[in-house]
Structure 1
Amino acid sequence: MTCDEALDEYRVPGTATCADARKGIGRGILNNNYQMKYVNTDPGATGPGGVPIRSASEAALRLPSGAKRIEYARLYWGATRGMDTLNGPQVLGLAQVRSVALKIPGEGFYRTVTADSDVGYMKGEMEYGYQATADVTAIVRAAGAGSYTVANLNAVVMPYAWGSWTLVVAYENDREPLRHLHLWDGYRTVKVDSPPVVLTLDGLGVPAESPTGAKLDYIAYDGDRTLGGEHAEVRSTTGVATPLSGPDNPAGDLMNSTADGMSRTPADVNTFGYDADEFDIHNAVSPGDTGLTLTFSTLDDGFQIGAVYTAVDRK
């Protein structure tokens, strides 16, 4: 989702233009303040069953030199499922959000990908959100590196709306250090003026000697740029609480609609409610640790956590 430049006159007074908001420039540049619309990088195309493509965006899967076999791949997609309006709630049925269309490198057509587990969803004060996910290992293993397009991700289209997708891939590469990889997923809402959300994540796998590298990534939704107050800290089995922050995710605005290090189309700085962020946590874990506790809280900006994944060097 992105702001609708054709309806810029209806943005909240005093906020930046839609064009500047996409660049991350100006005041009030969050989805609450704009008429929103689907991103569509493939207008005029048709999907499975001849259904028109009404939303589409692309991202490049880049594999480093020496990468051999893709061991695992999982697709996540999430969006605003509904909104309370003056005419009552407008909410998409779960059947409407369980599938998306996927186009892989080297193919000119779309295939349907359907969630292989329960759809996570929530009801906020006025907004409904969801996340769905599917194992796409066989598809991505066969296709390999290149441009992937996810289309017809369903959302309500109005102010406050957001929508996005993520492809998480684990691959084998003998040229890189041996690593312990772990992926946890679910759907938890972090609300303003509510107790912190604590996630206990087992299976970390830190080696007995001091780790030389450890990364943590998360997928989050509805974090608003310039509307701060979000806080996250990580504590390993034997470690101390360490706040998460980084160059693109300052401590005062952690969930700020950024997608770290991705080659994507459109490549707008401001994603209007989607975060895919990475943090170096090697100083936050200790030899022999087997788990993490992640604590999320917020003062002003509610958000949802969809997945967390780690990569810890074993040797």
Structure 2
Amino acid sequence: MRQSLRPLLRRATVGALTLATLWVPGGALATAPPSPEAGRIPFAERYRALQHGGIVRAANASISCRATAAQLSCPAVREGGAAANGDFDMFYVDVDTDPNTYNSSRAEVRLPDGARATYARLYWGGNLRVGEQKPPKDNGRVLIAEPGGQYKEVLADTLVGHRTAQGADAFQASADVTKLVRESGSGLYTVAQVNVAMGRSTAGAWGGWTLVVAYEKAAEPLRHLALWDGFDTLGTGRDLAPRGLRFPKGASGRVGLVAYDGDRGRTGDSLTLSADRRAPVALTDAANPRSDVLNSTISEPGERPAARVPSYVNTLGYDSDVFDLGTALRRGGDQLAFRLVSQRDAAWAGALFVAVDAQS
């Protein structure tokens, strides 16, 4: 196995997890200085490995529309109706029983039997300015609980993206959580206290989290596993063209994307792949139309997606999608060029990962 990690501005960690303290109901969190921030963070490789295995991810939203008599359409929108976050008074998702948290949601890490996590990274982000203004000093911290476990505070271990644009005050932070996931394995993980504002505004409230997990398993094909992250608005497009990922003819693979503030039903965004400088192929599926890829979905191929609590179909501004690369890889090559475009939303891209069959 070949593997390289390139953490930036890493803080002191316990193993691979930045744990400030265990969460004790009624107790105070450890004091930590605000994480360093930048308005734009160019996409850069975070992790790469060549190993028998793959990548899975868990994800969920931290805020949704408030189901009240004044917002009768909220339940229908949660079930997949076309609407944008700016159409609603938004309120926190909170599924735990802890009175000290104001938002929490769960999602399943589903590792294959016998697999071992080799790298795991948690991404979280949201809009700080809606009906209220949240302080940015809390951007770089969240709580996470493993399946059956208690909350642990996680601090960002790299530069936090934080930028104000088109009425939104947007951020994304991330941290290495490999040790926790390796020891805990599959199951429902809970993430709480994502720094996101509630209320209503033209820009809308949005926020959520994604846990990306690379794993190894000897019985699976040899694959290139890679993860990139950054933070910037999309506009006319962002390109990512990793080299050195040699794949054979007829290869299979998947790509995952994390993005913020895409609105369902508002067309003009797309994700394309050009393999070995060939004509680009649009990545699309039943959950993600060709011209509305950033449509507030958490989706993946297969008939039995990973569990989420809650499992809203329309997340109202948070996308964490996995696409099958299908026929785009059929002729083989050594270069993949992804292009993500948003021509109508003030959308942000946060992370992209791939798992592609390797040339043996």
- Smaller-chain TM-score bracket: 0.7 to 0.9
Counterpart for residue 155 of structure 1? 196
Amino acid at match of 1:94: P
Check if 1:172 corresponds to 2:234. no
Count, aligned residues: 288
- Between the aligned partners of 2:342 and 2:196, the Cα distance in structure 1 is 25
Check if 1:252 corresponds to 2:291. yes
- Between the aligned partners of 1:271 and 1:283, the Cα distance in structure 2 is 29
Counterpart for residue 137 of structure 2? 95
Query: What is the 5 A alignment of 1:1-315?
Result: 1-6=63-68, 8-9=69-70, 11=71, 17-25=73-81, 29-43=83-97, 45=98, 52-67=100-115, 69-83=116-130, 91-107=133-149, 109-159=150-200, 160-191=204-235, 196-203=236-243, 205-207=245-247, 209-260=248-299, 261-285=305-329, 286-290=331-335, 292-314=336-358
The answer to whether the Cα contact below 8 Å between 2:237 and 2:342 also exists between their aligned partners in 1 is: no
The answer to whether the Cα contact below 8 Å between 1:220 and 1:304 also exists between their aligned partners in 2 is: yes
Deviation at 1:300?
2.7
- Between the aligned partners of 1:177 and 1:100, the Cα distance in structure 2 is 35
TM value normalised by structure 2: 0.75
Q: Any unmatched runs of 5+ in structure 1?
A: 47-51
Cα–Cα, structure 1 residues 151 and 204, in superposed 2: closer, same or farther, change >3 Å? farther
Deviation at 1:56?
0.4
The answer to whether the Cα contact below 8 Å between 2:85 and 2:205 also exists between their aligned partners in 1 is: yes
The answer to whether the Cα contact below 8 Å between 1:82 and 1:128 also exists between their aligned partners in 2 is: yes
TM value normalised by structure 1: 0.86
Amino acid at match of 1:138: K
- Between the aligned partners of 1:77 and 1:29, the Cα distance in structure 2 is 23
Deviation at 1:124?
1.5
1:50-93 deviation line (CA, Å, top 9, x unaligned): xx1110000111111232x210000000110224x7xxxx6434
Cα–Cα, structure 1 residues 158 and 57, in superposed 2: closer, same or farther, change >3 Å? same
Deviation at 1:296?
2.5
The answer to whether the Cα contact below 8 Å between 1:22 and 1:269 also exists between their aligned partners in 2 is: yes
The answer to whether the Cα contact below 8 Å between 1:180 and 1:204 also exists between their aligned partners in 2 is: no
Deviation at 1:204?
5.3
Between 223-232 and 174-183, the greater mean CA deviation after superposition: 223-232
Deviation at 1:236?
2.9
1:258-282 deviation line (CA, Å, top 9, x unaligned): 1113310001111111111122224
The answer to whether the Cα contact below 8 Å between 2:165 and 2:346 also exists between their aligned partners in 1 is: no
- Between the aligned partners of 2:113 and 2:184, the Cα distance in structure 1 is 17
Counterpart for residue 49 of structure 1? none
Deviation at 1:29?
1.8
Amino acid at match of 1:79: G
The answer to whether the Cα contact below 8 Å between 1:182 and 1:203 also exists between their aligned partners in 2 is: no
Deviation at 1:174?
1.5
Deviation at 1:254?
1.2
Calculate percent identity across the aligned residue pairs: 36
- Between the aligned partners of 1:123 and 1:232, the Cα distance in structure 2 is 24
